[in-house]
Amino acid sequence: MVGEPLAGCVMVITADRRKRELASALERRGAQVVFAPALSTVSHLDDQQLIAATRALLAEPPDIVVATTGIGFRAWVEAADAAGLAEPLISVLRDARLIARGPKARGAIQAAGLEADWVAESETAAELRDYLLAEGVKGSRIAVQHHGNGSDGLDEAFAQAGAQVLSLIVYGWGPPLDPGQHETWVDGAAEGQCDAALFTSAPGAEAWVATAQARGQLDCIRERNRAGDLVLASVGPITAGPLEQAGLTSPFPDRWRLGALVRELVKHYGRDDVAVETAAGSLVLRATSAVLDGEVLPLSPSGLTIVKQLAAAQGAVVTREQLASALPGATGGPHAVEAAINRLREAANAKALVKTVVKRGYALAVTAA
């Protein structure tokens, strides 16, 4: 199959953070991207509580500082800089033991001119927690930079083990900035208007599932997901958790990165076995389009319905009556079917794509792969 591997795919990005970076990577590979965040990111850069917590940290320097996210750690330093506290903060951090929840947090630490003393390979709060508890934290003063989903149980675990804990919340989650867009594309996922929805945070996935449940769409989404018609892709297992708890399948890459997520989608949609080999070329069907030899065909809803019906028959004859009954709206009838077939051939620039079987109907000109 030639052409871009995601050609014809409609992909919904449900995240607010880094959405344009993700969209750019998908679009370069042929996807049509829709933004429909389930939550908004609420910055705490001007939050007096964050500045007050930073001043408390400066007054009583910590033994250990835990960075849970790269964006959060960077934003914390930026907030301190805006308040005139960056230099003393960096000095205090340099004297502390720095623990990172994954490479992105480590990268943010390095960007501040510091070095992480330990990095959680699994990028989970659980691994980080278990590592420090195994070492023993009793009597230690621990500062934890949190992401928008709260402490992940870190504060409670460290405090229970005898540590003094200081929490620093740098950003949080709010309702979607465009609730209508969010709801429209939850419905779209249920109604076959998109091929995939992408998730980069557990709170976003949880909010998306809650909306689907509230709108009565969860069963339809579950059915499309199980049939393989709707991919609900997550950046990692934590993000996938709320989806899986709702009975949905959510694949994620081995390396929990946006780039790895894009590569998994390319691998999934670029498989040779998704194509139907025809006399006119390699045909791939998407939720709202058909792609022939890598080119998205300019089809009407009727044309798309026709080609999907013919493809489902795998080269067997489909009668005019069967095709007419499948056409959208009240346009069905022998003449409507004939017109749709002709437009399909024109759009494909290949009369050989569909065979006319006299007195019986039509068949897709399927060939051996």
**pLDDT of the residue at 133:** 97
Cα distances from 308 to residues 235, 312, 318, in angstroms, run: 31, 6, 11
Q: Give the Cα separation of 74 and 71 in Å (integer).
A: 5
Cβ-in-10-Å burial (0-12, 13-18, 19+) of 139 comes to exposed
CATH class of 275-364: mainly alpha
Structure tokens at 206: 């949880």
Domain boundaries, the chain: 10-39+176-273, 42-173, 275-364
User: In the prediction, which pLDDT does 317 show?
Assistant: 95
pLDDT at residue number 332: 60
Contacts with 281 (C-beta within 8 Å, 6 or more apart), sequence order: 292, 293, 350
Residue 67 · residue 49 · CB < 8 Å: no
**Positions of the chain with pLDDT lower than 50, given as ranges:** 1
Q: With contact defined as beta carbons under 8 Å apart, do 8 and 290 qualify? A: yes
Which two tokens mark 168? 């620093």
42-173: CATH class: alpha beta
pLDDT of amino acid 64: 98
DSSP state of 103: H
- Picking from 227, 232, 219, the residue whose alpha carbon sits closest to that of residue 190 is 219
In this structure, whether the domain defined by 10-39+176-273 belongs to CATH 3.40.50.1000 is answered with no
CA 187 from centre of chain = 17
* Phi, psi of 237, rounded to the nearest 5 degrees: -65, -30
pLDDT the model gives residue 316: 95
> Do 42-173 and 10-39+176-273 have the same topology in CATH?
yes
Q: List residues bridging with 65 in a β-sheet.
A: 98, 143
Q: What is the pLDDT of residues 311-320, one digit of tens each?
A: 999 999 999 9
pLDDT at 1: 46
